Structure 1
Amino acid sequence: MRIVLFTGKGGVGKSTVAAGTAALAARAGHRTLVLSTDAAHSLGDAFGADVGAEPTEVAERLFVQQVDAQLRFEQSWADVQGYLLSVLDVAGVDPVAAEELTVIPGAEEVLALLELRLHALSDEWDVIVVDCAPTAETLRLLALPEALGWYMQRVFPTQQRVMKALRPALSRAVGVPMPNGTVFEAIERLHGELGEVHALLAGPSASVRIVMTPEQVVLAEARRSYTSLSLFGYRVDGVVANRIFPADGADDWRARWVVAQDAVLAEVDESFAGLPIWRSEYRAVEPVGVGALAALADDLYGDDDPLVTPVGDGPFRVTRTSEGAVLHLALPFVTRTEVGLARHHDELVVSVGSYRRLLTLPAGLARLRVDRARVVDGELRVRFREPDAEPAAATPGGTR
């Protein structure tokens, strides 16, 4: 099964490009689902069809679903929310306000991704196209499973045992109910499901496609997205430069836009060298409906296969050396001064700007010590050696 996620800054046309790609997949004979995890659903508008919370067939072999995040929220968070409501009730909080307070910001977008897991497990689809939330929200939700991992592995089991043993005493002492087993089970289940989503999306059959318009602000965000997605282990397989003004027959106003866009597009070619860069011109009318969307995607991809499986090792790999091993992590556009690196037991903590990734090292690396780290050609390389090996001499380009 092939999974393609589309993301980008709000308003760049990612829903249209995602819908067109799905239309091509269905036309090629694949059982295709295009799924929106964006709270501001627009797939129904793109297809010109009524689309609901269940897969809706809009053409032969083509189904569309706009995830009912509220339903998934109730299914996955009900036990935890019920406990939080009981605590707020004891504290005298108004029931309506309490219900609002128990909804974690961003939870709906995260839980919408659980729908993707269910579809992947169902074996009903050959292709799943995901219309993601705008870039910042996508990065936050894709990073969540790994961010929760440390807490779930180290703190949660101890906390669960303490609560089980001391629940009656703590309830009397603090005057509020303590969480019971079903609350902990719900949290464990949610974490496990999100971990499966992460493994699915970081796997060899999944990739992310960045959609952008040829504007400097949008290009800057696209570059940051490429770096951050690579940091968290997600493979970017191409960039779509959308809404390009055609040069033919342009009046003075549009001619200035053509010149400005050409300058940005030259930077796009330099920024994403090595990746496919597909270009889509502004169309005379808005593409609505399966036929118009398929025509847009035809022009966009040309002779390229829009569903080709990415090749290579992805942004994260480990190579063995005679002295130990080297961990490679792609960090495009990053210099050594922007990277923070720390070792904590069997974890490697990598920071780039406001984003931080905790890499749990496999047993073969965990027993080794970090000998040296460098950023070379947009790639972080961390060398590991045997604990008793001689340390490497300091070299330019090392990170801290």
Structure 2
Amino acid sequence: MSSIVTFLGKGGTGRTTIAIAAAKNLAQQGRKVLLLTQDSSPAYNIALGIDITAKPQEIAANLSVAQLHSTMLLEQNWEQVKQLEQQYLRSPLLKNVYGQELGILPGMDQALALNKIREYDQSKQYDVIVYDGSGDLNTLRMFGMPEVLSWYIRRFKGVFQDSEIVKALSPFVQPVTSAILNSSWSFDSLSPDETDQASQMLEKGRQALTEQRVIAYLVTKDDPVAIAQAKYLWGSAQQVGLTVGGVLLNQADSNDSVTKEFNPLTITFLPSISSGEWQTLGDALPNLVGSITSPKPTTFEMTEKKIKVFLPGFDKKQVKLTQNGSEITIEAGDQRRNIDLPPAWSGRSVTGAKFTNNYLELSIG
């Protein structure tokens, strides 16, 4: 399986430049690298000196690049969807709908991008996938989709299974989702059977985060707004279970105040470069896919019956805690994290909570 590296930070901090330098550097180390971008502007074409397409093209030894274009991904399969509709509905509704018009649906961009990354990961063609997305909460929501979808399935599967509307639509849902997302997703996937393809897909997505195969790096400059945004994204990344491997302080020298802000993350100071000086920037980068020693988002202390949730960038006033059976939900900022109690703690509940040193510490009674 591939290691997946992405970058989080305020726009204008140099995320794209760093992503390109990182991809080049990893490829020079002998790793097979795929650089993925959702940027449809001419920036990448100019930076790399090529016209980037949706199909991966090799631009150097071990290095390929491709663009994730949502409208193109939709259009590729939309005709299939309309043909399938004719099989299931007497009066097709979609015949005058263009695939690109679905791009307005909330989360469609992230869903398509995540699915494409999944396909490239499963192809086993690449050692590392460098994903240069929006670098903001949308990127975090994308990587958090498996967790969120799993939560909704667990909560509402009974409602769906008993719904007459669902039963009537179920023959149509599976072929449509197969055509759009290349997965056999159907209402049958809401069954308790955890061996179905949809459940397996979600579980693998969750495991990829847990196993630290997906790693994010915070990119910032020595600027109060950029630093504040990076800290907020750091805490939000913990909420979706995404490991943050360190901080890349771009175009800056050693700075004790910045180091203190992101403690205990490792800070790497990156030099200013002129256009095309990829080697200089790449050599300054840390080992992006090595062993990560950053704090885990969630730690269970079984003997003391405690759960420690790492939430940097937030204070106790921004955190909301609820419990439903064996599931604890923590809301912080614009993100939600669901934590299942271990079987050994079945039937127990949270008896105390305190927020200290960036950790929310929960006591289980």
Q: TM-score, normalised by structure 2?
A: 0.81
- CA shift in 2, pair 1:38/1:360, >3 Å: farther
Structure 1: tracts of 5 or more residues without a match: 168-178, 247-261, 386-400
Does the 8 A contact of 2:325 with 2:347 survive in 1? no
Residue-by-residue CA offset, 1:35-72 (whole Å, 9 max, x unaligned):
22456584443322222112211111111121243354
CA deviations over 1:10-44 (Å, ceiling 9, x no partner): 22211110111111111111111122245658444
- Bigger drift between 188-197 and 42-51 goes to 188-197
CA contact (8 A) 2:307 2:361 kept: yes
The answer to whether structure 1 residue 326 and structure 2 residue 316 are counterparts is no
- 1:186 is paired with a residue whose SS is coil
- Contact 1:148/1:191, CA 8 A, preserved across alignment: no
Q: Residues 212 and 241 of structure 1 are in contact (CA less than 8 Å); yes or no, is this contact kept in structure 2? A: yes
Match of 1:234 in 2: 242
- TM-aligned CA distance change 1:20 to 1:68, over 3 Å: same
- Residue 186 of structure 1 aligns with which residue? 185
Is 1:357 the counterpart of 2:342? The answer is no
Q: Which residue of 1 aligns with 2:12?
A: 11
RMSD value over aligned CA atoms? Answer: 3.3
- Classify the secondary structure of the residue corresponding to 1:110: helix
SS in 1 for 2:4: strand
The CA distance in 2 between the partners of 1:343 and 1:66, in whole Å, is 41
Q: Is the 8 A contact 1:113 1:197 kept in 2?
A: no
1:143 is matched with which residue? 144
Identical residues among aligned pairs (%): 26
Displacement of 1:129 after TM fit?
A: 1.5
- Which amino acid in structure 2 is aligned with residue 343 of structure 1? Q
- Which residue of 260, 279, 283 maps to 1:294? 279
Q: Do 1:349 and 1:356's aligned partners in 2 also have CA atoms closer than 8 Å?
A: yes
Distance 1:311 1:41 in 2: 37
Say which is worse superposed, 371-380 or 39-48, in terms of deviation.
39-48
SS at match of 2:36: strand
Q: How many residues align?
A: 342
In the alignment, is the contact (CA less than 8 A) between 2:245 and 2:294 conserved in 1? no
Tell me the amino acid that sits aligned with residue 219 of structure 2.
Answer: V
In the aligned structure 1, how far is the partner of 2:50 from the partner of 2:204?
32
CA contact (8 A) 1:25 1:32 kept: yes
Contact 1:20 1:296 in 2 (8 A): yes
Q: Is the 2:4–2:129 Cα contact (8 Å) retained in structure 1? A: yes
1:114 equivalent to 2:94? Answer: no
In 2 relative to 1, CA 44–196 (structure 1 residues): closer, same or farther, beyond 3 Å? farther
User: Does the 8 Å CA contact 1:226/1:236 hold for their aligned counterparts?
Assistant: yes
Partner secondary structure for residue 251 of structure 2: strand
Per-residue deviation, residues 132-188 of structure 1 (Å, max 9, x unmatched): 223121122223332222321232454244237863xxxxxxxxxxx2324155355
Distance 1:42 1:202 in 2: 33
- Measured in 1, the distance between the counterparts of 2:271 and 2:343 equals 50
Pick one of 318, 326, 339 that aligns with 1:338.
Answer: 318
Paired residue secondary structure (1:154): helix
Return the match for 1:224 from 232, 255, 275. Answer: 232
Task: After TM superposition, list the pairs within 5 Å mapping 1:224-263 onto structure 2.
Answer: 224-244=232-252
Distance 1:47 1:198 in 2: 33
User: 1:275 maps to which residue?
Assistant: 265
1:38–1:109 Cα contact (<8 Å) kept:
no
Cα contact 1:341–1:348 (8 A) shared by 2 = yes
